[in-house]
Amino acid sequence: MANPKKTTAAWTPRPVPAPVPPIEEPTVVSAPVLADEPAALADAMTEIPSIAAPAPSVAAPAVNKMFEAPVKSMTEAQAKMRAMIEKSLSETRANFAKAKSAADEANSAFEASFATAKTGVVEINAKALDAFRASAEANFDFVKSVLGVKSVSDYVTLHSEFARKQIETLTGRTKEFATLAQKVATESAAPIKSQVAKTFKIAV
């Protein structure tokens, strides 16, 4: 029986492992040895480095100035707005006081005008009543005179005289009433006219 042929595989080299670094032994920090004497402690304290304070920032004034400008402008705007509002309120109060004073004066003028007109109307009514009484008495006298006439010519003469007197009386009373009415109107309008001239500064 023949021996089988041996097959030889290709040889491949094995990878070389990386070198392992040596293990360092941990460093043991020894505790500080306290000095038995104050002088040694003072020497040890002088060896401690001092921590320097941080240097002031150079940009701080610029930043402060940058924020101060808007704050200052806002404060000035608020002050101007407050002054404007106070001025407006003051002017409103002054205008209201002037309007109230003018209204009171106008009311007083109307009251004075009404009182004058009322007095004038009373006087006109008294004049009218006197005229009516005088006219009634004249008519009564005319009727009595008519009852005593004995002829037509006497009646015509009496009637003509009565008519003439009535016309003269009516003309005179009409003039009196016109003068009195004009006087009442002028005196009644005087307070209102004076108040209007004072309000609008018109020379009377």
Residue 20 is predicted with a pLDDT of: 59
Per-residue b or e along 21-60, where b marks 16 or more CB atoms closer than 10 Å to that residue's CB: eeeeeeeeeeeeeeeeeeeeeeeeeeeeeeeeeeeeeeee
Residue 167 is predicted with a pLDDT of: 92
Residue 12 is predicted with a pLDDT of: 66
Nearest in space to 114 (alpha carbons), one of 202, 194, 190, 176:
190
Please report, in tens digits, the pLDDT of each residue of the chain (204 residues total): 445 455 555 566 666 666 656 665 555 555 454 445 455 555 555 555 555 455 555 455 665 666 666 667 788 888 888 889 888 888 888 888 888 887 888 788 888 888 888 888 888 888 889 888 988 998 898 888 888 888 888 888 988 999 999 999 989 989 988 998 898 888 888 888 887 777 776 655
Distance CA 157, CA 30 (A): 167
Is residue 109 within 8 Å of residue 194, measured between CB atoms? yes
Residue 1 is predicted with a pLDDT of: 47
0.85 surpassed by pTM: no
